[in-house]
Amino acid sequence: MSAQDPVLARLVDQVNSARSRRAPLDIRGGGSKTFYGEAAVGEPLDVTGLSGITSYEPTELVVTVRTGTRLDDLEAALEAHGQCLAFEPPRFAPGGTVGGMVAAGLSGPARASAGSVRDHVLGVTLLNGRGEILTFGGQVAKNVAGYDVSRLMAGSLGILGVICEVSLKVLPVSPSTATLRFDCDEAQASANFRDWASQPLPINATAWHEGGLYVRLAGARAAVAAACTRLGGAQLAPEQAKSWWSSVRDHSAEFFAIGAAGLARGESLWRLSVPATAAALKLPGQQFMEWGGAQRWWKTLADAGQVRSAAARVGGHATLIRGADKSNGVFAPLSEVSMRIHRGLKQAFDPLRLFNRGRLYAGL
Amino acid sequence: MNTSLRPAPPADAHREQRQKDVVAALREVLPREAILFRHEDTVPYECDALTAYRASPMVVVLPETEAQVAAVLKICHQMTVPIVARGAGTGLSGGAMPHRSGVILSLSKFNKILNIDPASCTAIVQCGVRNLAISEAASGYGLYYAPDPSSQIACTIGGNVAENSGGVHCLKYGLTLHNVLRVRGFMVTVSPWNSAPEALDAAGLDLLPIIIGSEGMLAVTTEVTVKLIPKPQSARCIMASFDDIESAGAAVASVIAHGIIPAGLEMMDRAMTAAVDAFVHADYDLSAAAILLCESDGTPAEVAEEIARMEQVLSAAGASRIEVSRDEAQRLKFWSGRKNAFPASGSISPDYMCMDSTIPRKRLAEMLRAIQQMEIKYNLRCANVFHAGDGNLHPLILFDAADADQMRRCELFGADILETSVRLGGTVTGEHGVGIEKLNSMCVQFSAAERAQFLALKQAFDPLELLNPGKVIPTLHRCAEYGKMHVHRGMLPFPELPRF
């Protein structure tokens, strides 16, 4: 990516202007995830002009894309070649961008088997807080030249700089998929997740909610067919399965919404990331489990302290996704050592604290 | 390379006094036998598997507990003594080469598997546990640890974390990063530190990818939680022969284009298959210009389906011969050749230098042609083995280190390969790390601002620059000098300066 690029040059100018005034900048893509994280402050820095696929060669299993590109455009381009983003990034609303996907670092139902956004980032071009355009990583899957800065960007919420271009590992769409449904309670679902995890089954995604366990198989035809026979359950029709998993991935399923009445009651949606085999969490409200038990969504009236300690007790952490009250922080508090490293990294990339100030943690 | 005792380096009064002081401080926290400082005791630590580069460490410590590691770090921090952590010393880029005024923190006694949990498919192991030992311990549960660097019988998981090691199966199963859930250890300031809980992600910035592959520059790792996966029920491997390297390179792209992700996809040229076959009799087709090893694993039905598709694609890509392993013994035989590529090269040449760049797959044939030209230019032979599926090259330059001119030509040959790789859109190191070996090539791959950003990142973890100083990220000064050297390739100014 060249500094001569007119859109990039404008962004550099805007960053340099903000530097001279020490004015915070709010990096903006498609706005599909503005609800996520702490409140945004500062002058808007619109990156949607940085759009387009820079290079895509299906045989290299890599796509390089400017980060203002709409995620749905990227996915359509991959689909035309029978490939996909295996980590199924959520698309909470139309218009979400590739940059937002990387910065938010959220992955969908296939995460436990296919890996996360981070795992698929191969390289980035970054505009840092000194107004410099830097490239890290590359377009190859194996690369250990220098620190892995590109993967650090996944989930950074833009606090280290503007992600201008990213190279992502892409994978072929599985030749065959099937979704099975089982009626069972949470304990049985957890036991099944555990049993299946240690067997060579082509499990691509799992979920459990209100007595229904869903498992998606993906892989070679023979493997999927054999697993269907072995596991039993009721097989969903392909279209029904597709829309069911999309509703989980994109949070369009009813469970993930909090209506006006819920907000008025003080209901919040939390994401608890815990060891997959952690015991059942005792919280009031409703649960939606994914990733073989490693991701547990809770829609609850419990306060932040209660949710956080439930997660911490089993060795996990909790993030507030939706809800009116962010006063206790969106992300789990960091240890002192970890916070020191975070401050050091912020200092290293964005010493004037221009980008997305406070969006991840206060003080960053 | 010769590792026998050499005369001690000339003593330097200041260093001797410093050594006495540091040893005295360390004796307060470690038993006497865990501290080595006499030249004859520290010789084995002078290099890692990049044996051409050596330095004598001031002190070597062999702690056994995390408390002892913390105590050593505390002393080093207080006395500003450089620290170089070391596992099994199998690294190929000099990442564990000692600092002359520093301490080697040998973690070889951290060799316990703390827990294998078949329910969560995880293992918690100390950093000095050997890579293969994890899979052996998990084997009873039908599980294994996927990354399998060729040195897996000896290399440690701590070293794998430091280098983000790959192996022949990482095309399908990922690198160390993709198979490690958590690392635990110490910051140089002695604060205990861990990357995350044992969940799939952590709150805040994801520090795991920064620590993994950081070559001991950011923190000291003492414990690692790894992901275990179910052993595939079956695996079969195809050996496909090609009459020219172009078609072999094109076949690699074609396999991927057909939506197949093989469990392993390796390429060897004729020089390599000849060396390997003489060494382990792997039944390779020695008449082929290049062979591909293409593996499928999974359920027997899955493997049968995939092998049939692979055979079809490889035939269409012009394979002159295709042999599918008929049983497990033959499959292992095919792989034994590949896994012995390095020692086999050692058996046909006094020394070899293994390169490790990665390029886009489609440039494989072009790269091999360029390497053939370099063999003529530098008048040295080169045998080639590639993780072709990943575009990761391991050209092995054969030379004799006792011959200074060969050594010099070998270094230039290596630098030429790395720079060509960068020009073809690749990177100077795919899995072996930068260490000291590829410092100059980092000047070619990264701009001054990018290198400054790396140095700033290190400051966030290690402000005094005590951890593995002088490795991985070249200073601006060094790159400036390399730029000048470059103009006069082959005639280096100031030959007395150390340049590794």
CB atoms B360 and A57 under 8 Å: yes
Q: Which of B170, B204, B427 sits opposite A338 (nearest CB)?
A: B204
Residues of chain B neighbouring A108 (CB-CB closer than 8 A): none
Confidence class for position B116, pLDDT limits 50, 70, 90: very high
Tell me the average pLDDT across B31-54: 95
Q: How far apart are CA A202 and CA A196, in angstroms?
A: 10
Nearest partner of B499 among B477, B196, A258, A107, judged by Cα: B477
C-alpha distance from A151 to closest chain B C-alpha (Å): 6
**Is 60 exceeded by the pLDDT of residue B237?**
yes
Over A326-351, what HEC string results? Answer: CCCCCCCCCCHHHHHHHHHHHHHHCC
Assess whether pLDDT exceeds 70 at residue B485: no
Average pLDDT over residues B435-464: 95
More confident residue, B190 or B100: B100
B164·A148 Cβ contact <8 A: yes
Q: Which residues of B touch A164 (CB under 8 A)?
A: none
Which residues 29-58 of chain B have a CB within 8 Å of chain A? none
Q: What values do phi and psi take at A244, rounded to 5?
A: -65, -45
Average pLDDT of the residues in B466-481: 93
A97 forms bridges with which residues in the sheet? A70
Task: Please tell me the predicted confidence (pLDDT) of residue B5.
Answer: 45
Sign of CA dihedral B309, B260, A237, A70: negative
Between A227 and B3, the higher pLDDT residue: A227
Task: Please give, rounded to a whole number of angstroms, the shortest distance from the CA of A263 to a CA of chain B.
Answer: 25
B427 touches chain A (CB under 8 A): yes
Position B495 scores a pLDDT of 39
Chain A residues with CB under 8 Å of B115 CB are none
Q: Do A144 and B434 touch (CB under 8 A)?
A: yes
Is residue B227 scored above 50 in pLDDT?
yes
The CA distance from A132 to the nearest CA of chain B, in Å, is 7
Instruction: Quick: pLDDT tens for B247-287.
Output: 999 999 899 989 899 999 999 999 999 999 999 888 899 99
**pLDDT band per the 50, 70, 90 thresholds, residue B497:** very low
In B348-462, DSSP assigns E strands to: 351-354, 381-387, 392-399
- What is the ipTM for the molecules in this complex? 0.96
Q: A140, B193: Cβ pair inside 8 Å? A: no
B500 touches chain A (CB under 8 A): no
- What number of other Cβ atoms are within 10 A of residue A186's Cβ? 18
Pick the range with the lowest mean pLDDT from A7-16, B1-10, B136-145, B402-411.
B1-10
Residues of chain A with Cβ-Cβ distance to B187 below 8 Å are 337, 341
Ramachandran quadrant class, B427 (left: phi over 0; alpha: psi -120 to 50; beta: rest)? beta
B202·A317 Cβ contact <8 A:
yes
pLDDT band at B9 (very low <50, low <70, confident <90, very high): low
DSSP string for A204-240 = EEEEEETTEEEEEEEE-HHHHHHHHHHH-SEEPPHHH
DSSP letters spanning B369-395? HHHHHHHHHHT-EEEEEEEGGGTEEEE
Beta strand spans in B139-271 (E) = 143-144, 180-186, 192-194, 220-227, 229-230, 234-242, 264-269
CA B430 to chain centre: 8
Task: Give the pLDDT confidence score for residue A3 in this predicted structure.
Answer: 73
Could you tell me the sign of the dihedral formed by the alpha carbons of B369, B255, B239, B243, in that order?
negative
User: What token pair was written down for A56?
Assistant: 């895509």
The nearest alpha carbon in chain A to B309 belongs to A220
Which A residues in the span 71-130 are in contact with B, Cβ-Cβ below 8 Å? 82, 105, 111-112, 115-116, 118-119, 128, 130
Mutation test of the interface with chain A: which of B179, B186, B302, choosing the one with the most A Cβ atoms within 10 A? B302
Per-residue confidence band for B11, with pLDDT thresholds at 50, 70 and 90? low
Model pLDDT, residue A340: 95
* Strand pairing category for A317-322 and B59-61: unpaired
Q: What is the pLDDT of residue B189?
A: 86
For residue range B332-345, what is the model confidence (pLDDT) as tens digits?
Answer: 999 999 988 988 99
What percent of the residues of chain B are helix, what percent strand, and what percent coil, each to the nearest 5?
A: 40, 20, 40
Dist. CA A310–CA B320, nearest whole Å? 62
Taking chain A (364 residues) in consecutive chunks of 10 residues, what is each chunk's mean pLDDT?
87 98 97 95 97 94 97 98 97 96 98 97 98 95 94 98 98 96 98 93 96 96 94 97 98 95 94 96 97 98 96 96 92 95 98 98 96
B9 touches A: beta carbon within 8 Å: no
Residue with tokens 């083995």: B385
Chain B CB contacts of A141 below 8 Å: 170-171, 358, 390-391
B308 touches chain A (CB under 8 A): no
Decide if B115 touches A, using CB distance below 8 A.
Answer: no
Cross-chain residue pair B207–A275, CB shorter than 8 Å: no
List chain A residues with CB under 8 Å of B147.
Answer: none
Q: Which residue has the tokens 């095309």?
A: B171
Query: pLDDT tens digits, residue range B301-333?
Result: 889 999 999 999 999 999 999 999 999 999 999
How confident is the model at residue B328, as a pLDDT? 95
Chain B nearest CA to A364, separation (Å): 11
CA B174 – CA A315 distance, rounded (Å): 25
d(CA B451, CA A152): 16
Token pair 């290198």 is at which residue? B451
Integer Cα distance of A115 and A100 in angstroms: 18
B positions 436-455 inside 8 Å of A (CB):
438, 442, 445-447, 449-451, 453-454
Q: Return the C-alpha torsion angle B249, A139, A104, B455, nearest 10.
A: 140
Chain A residue numbers with beta carbons less than 8 Å from the beta carbon of B265 are none
In angstroms, what separates the C-alpha of A30 from chain B's closest C-alpha?
A: 22
DSSP A133: E
Q: What are phi and psi of B394, to 5 degrees?
A: -125, 70
In the sheet where A212-219 sits, what is the strand order? Answer: A234-235, A176-183, A212-219, A203-209, A286-290, A295-300, A268-273, A317-322
Q: What is the pLDDT of residue B492?
A: 41
**What contacts A54, CB < 8 A, 6 or more positions away?**
A1, A64, A65, A66, A165
Give contacts of B 371-410 with A, CB under 8 A: 387, 390-392
- Residues in chain A with CB shorter than 8 Å from the CB of B212 are 148
Averaged pLDDT, B347-368? 91
Which residue in A has a C-alpha nearest to residue B192's C-alpha? A337
Chain B residues closer than 8 Å to A138 by CB:
358, 425-427
Task: Work out how many CB contacts closer than 8 A connect A with B.
Answer: 265
Q: Residue A343: list chain B partners with CB under 8 A.
A: 460
Q: Who's near B371: CB < 8 A, 6+ residues apart? A: B382, B384, B395, B417
| CB atoms B298 and A219 under 8 Å | yes
